Structure 1
Amino acid sequence: MRFRRKIRSPAVLSHEFIIQNHADAASFLVMVLLLGLIAEVLAKSTIVFIAVQYNVTYTIDDNSEQFHFYDYGPKDFATIFFYMLVAINLHAVIQEYILDKINRRLHLSKTKHSKFNESGQLAFFDLFSFIWGASILNAEEFMMNPTSLWKDYPHSRIFQVKFFYICQIAYWLHALLELYFQRIRKEDIPRQLCYICLYIAHISGAYILNLQRLGLILMVPHYLVELIFHASRLFYFSDENKQKGFTVWALLFVMVRLLTLTLSVLTFGFGLARAENPGFSIADGNFNVLPVRIGCLVAVCLTQAWMMWKFINFQLKKWREHVKNQIPKKKVTNTKNKRTKKEPNRGHWQKTTNGEGLLIK
């Protein structure tokens, strides 16, 4: 008779316990904050976590119509924290109900399994961000008028733009926590930590410096390129012969890098430099001074140069691997051709009734 081994549950508040139950803890906190809206005593404090804060209403003397814009402040940290919990829940749902089921069918190795989960999560987020960002650009018509990138700076935030940036910052902050929750391999942590910190720095910088229009226009094509890359990566893991998507990604990657540099130089080098209200004022959100413009332009250029350097090294590595794989194949074909030329036509020996061998060709 076989005895079943009892599976011991991890100790409360241990590392294993936190990793296994982090999604449940996040969903519990979300439910507590949502239930806090029901009670009038707690509603004033819990609304800070859920709703977008710092609403400012403007009216024009000639017209009684009111315009609602949003500023930023310390209360945004509470809102970012709430939507970071929401991102953790969505991450767990996508992982458990979609990616894990696909992984069981594909039977991937540990290395491919980790990359498949990474690309799967980022593909969903890139698709969501691209659709949302493109809808904002279409509604506000920022792409139709390039001068809107620097005209009337500092720009007032509408609800959709501020909420978009808060969700972006919340997602990438949650991605930092997922490095621990998902038990990412030590070899992959530096690479993922690098691009996560770059996302947080650039998106937060655009949000704080009132460059949300420029940041939004640059993020939408960037997320489109990243979506194509991660989608191609997912198809490649399912079937290694499906590699056409990487060619499309490579072409669009270079084009988006050039577009990013062009718009950045145009905005910081010409547009904001000739703006009507240059100056530095934290209260007004005006950061249109030469050191800030140079710092932003240098940061963008260095990031794009680093991305192109990584891209070129990646393409050279793939080309070298392709050449190495082609050399053994050429040697095998050459040896086969030589053997066929040297070897004469041979038949086979067949014994006759009188015991003599006959060569039958």
Structure 2
Amino acid sequence: MGLRRKNKSLAVLSHEFVIQNHADIASCLVMCLLLGLMFEDPAKYAIIFIAVQYNVTYTTDDNSEQFHFYDSGPKDIATIFFYMLIAINLHAVIQEYILNKINRRLHLSKTKCSKFNESGQLAFFYLFSFIWGASILNAVRRIHDEPNITWKDYSHSHMLFQVKFFYICQIAYWLHALPELYFQKIRKEDIPRQLCYICLYIVHISGAYILNLQHLGLILMVPHYLVELIFHASCLFYFSGENKQKGFTIWALLFVMVRLLTLTLSVLTFGFGLARIENPHFPITDGNFDVLPVRIGCLGAVCLTQAWMMWKFINFQLKKWRKHVKNQIAKKIIATTKNKQTKKEPNRG
């Protein structure tokens, strides 16, 4: 892990050296980019990594007020890379100064420790993202006043700063999760599962950002993150020894509701809303992706993902129910054997 002093000297750029010092390496890259702002020539390139790009300013007819919006473009890749480095540092800080200290107190096994770290990292991220996303939704008054905001006035290529920065950070976080599988020495049997949901997040969030479906993506992300926050918070309590099932019950109810909400909004947006305002004369180069193949692809991707999530959810609940039944049967067997023994003891006397 980064941010921890190691007594053992390692070969520079060896696997162990990179794993133990990856956060320090990321910090050095961040500092180099920040130092680039101090000089005129490098600042032209450093600003592309640090600041949100593609600012567009509109003024009213009487020039009394200005409105600042942001578009998307190739330079966003550099910005995403910079905030991916920030995410690597934050990941290391949370792991080193919070989760590792809790692990030492709980004395968890390696398997539980790995799952505890995963749930801990995701719980922090989901909490932060939920609060941030909810504040953006609350700030955008149109979402409360216009239920059809997910498709009205498409394309939504002009974004507010908070909306664009939110998407930049979301994509950066999930991209940083890919190298973290290597940095954190995730067990081989856990890599396919984590890699699957990481890639799904990257594809869906990037798709919403590139296809100018930011409103729909933001509305769907906030309740989804709330559900995931409840699940991973419940997992943390479970691993800490507090077997509280209320959290998992609340998560199960909200999980199904959010899946229905996601499907409903997606069908309304792609099947009805965008289909009615399709404009074939508005080219894709201007940010218009409201064409039949794209709509079918997006709706199909959402439906398949929700179906897969429900399948995993049902399997999880069945596995949990079978475990509960086995425990109940074992308890009954123990209780009956004790009763038989207590009945036989007086007869012996």
**TM-score, normalising length: structure 2:** 0.94
Unaligned runs of 5+ in 2: 1-5
Q: Which residue of 1 aligns with 2:95?
A: 95
Check the 8 A contact 1:278/1:289 in 2, yes or no: yes
Q: Which residue of 1 aligns with 2:120?
A: 120
Q: Which residue of 1 aligns with 2:66?
A: 66
2:259 pairs with one of 254, 257, 260: 257
Find out whether 1:266 has 2:289 as its counterpart. Answer: no
Q: Which residue of 2 aligns with 1:358?
A: none
Structure 1 position 334, deviation (Å): 2.0
Q: Which residue of 2 aligns with 1:153?
A: 154
Q: Which residue of 1 aligns with 2:334?
A: 332
Secondary structure at the counterpart of residue 36 of structure 1: helix
> Which structure has more helix as a fraction of its residues?
2
Q: Distance in 1 between matches of 2:313 and 2:223?
A: 17
Q: Distance in 1 between matches of 2:18 and 2:137?
A: 40
Structure 1 position 59, deviation (Å): 2.9
Find out whether 1:200 has 2:202 as its counterpart. Answer: yes
Q: 1:112 to 1:144 in 2, by over 3 A?
A: farther
Q: Which residue of 1 aligns with 2:3?
A: none
Check the 8 A contact 1:279/1:288 in 2, yes or no: no
Structure 1 position 158, deviation (Å): 1.1
Q: Distance in 2 between matches of 1:332 and 1:15?
A: 51
AA of the residue aligned to 2:150: L
Q: How does 1:2-21 map to 2 (within 5 A)?
A: 8-21=8-21
Q: Which moved more, 1:7-16 or 1:104-113?
A: 7-16
Q: Distance in 1 between matches of 2:297 and 2:182?
A: 32
Check the 8 A contact 2:234/2:247 in 1, yes or no: yes
Q: Distance in 2 between matches of 1:186 and 1:35?
A: 39
Q: Which residue of 2 aligns with 1:359?
A: none
Secondary structure at the counterpart of residue 69 of structure 1: strand
Unaligned runs of 5+ in 1: 1-5, 348-361
Q: How does 1:297-336 map to 2 (within 5 A)?
A: 297-336=299-338
Check the 8 A contact 1:261/1:301 in 2, yes or no: yes
Deviations 1:237-256 (A, max 9, x none): 11142222111111111110
Q: Distance in 2 between matches of 1:279 and 1:147?
A: 23
Q: 1:93 to 1:279 in 2, by over 3 A?
A: farther
Check the 8 A contact 2:278/2:291 in 1, yes or no: no
Length, aligned pairs only: 342
AA of the residue aligned to 2:241: D
Q: Which residue of 2 aligns with 1:235?
A: 237
Structure 1 position 346, deviation (Å): 5.9
Q: Distance in 1 between matches of 2:218 and 2:329?
A: 47
Q: 1:279 to 1:14 in 2, by over 3 A?
A: farther
Q: Distance in 2 between matches of 1:238 and 1:279?
A: 59
Q: Distance in 1 between matches of 2:329 and 2:233?
A: 31
Find out whether 1:215 has 2:217 as its counterpart. Answer: yes
Q: RMSD of the TM alignment (CA)? A: 1.7
Tell me the percent identity.
Answer: 84
Q: Which residue of 2 aligns with 1:111?
A: 111
Deviations 1:81-101 (A, max 9, x none): 100000000001000000000
**TM-score, normalising length: structure 1:** 0.91
Q: Distance in 2 between matches of 1:143 and 1:257?
A: 21
Q: Distance in 2 between matches of 1:109 and 1:146?
A: 48
Q: Distance in 1 between matches of 2:153 and 2:236?
A: 43
Q: 1:88 to 1:168 in 2, by over 3 A?
A: same
Structure 1 position 278, deviation (Å): 4.9
Q: Distance in 1 between matches of 2:133 and 2:242?
A: 32
Q: Distance in 1 between matches of 2:41 and 2:15?
A: 35
Structure 1 position 223, deviation (Å): 0.4
Check the 8 A contact 1:91/1:121 in 2, yes or no: yes
Structure 1 position 44, deviation (Å): 1.1
AA of the residue aligned to 1:45: Y
Check the 8 A contact 1:136/1:161 in 2, yes or no: yes
Bigger CA radius of gyration: 1
Q: Distance in 1 between matches of 2:318 and 2:278?
A: 47
Structure 1 position 277, deviation (Å): 3.6
AA of the residue aligned to 2:221: M
Q: Distance in 1 between matches of 2:124 and 2:244?
A: 20
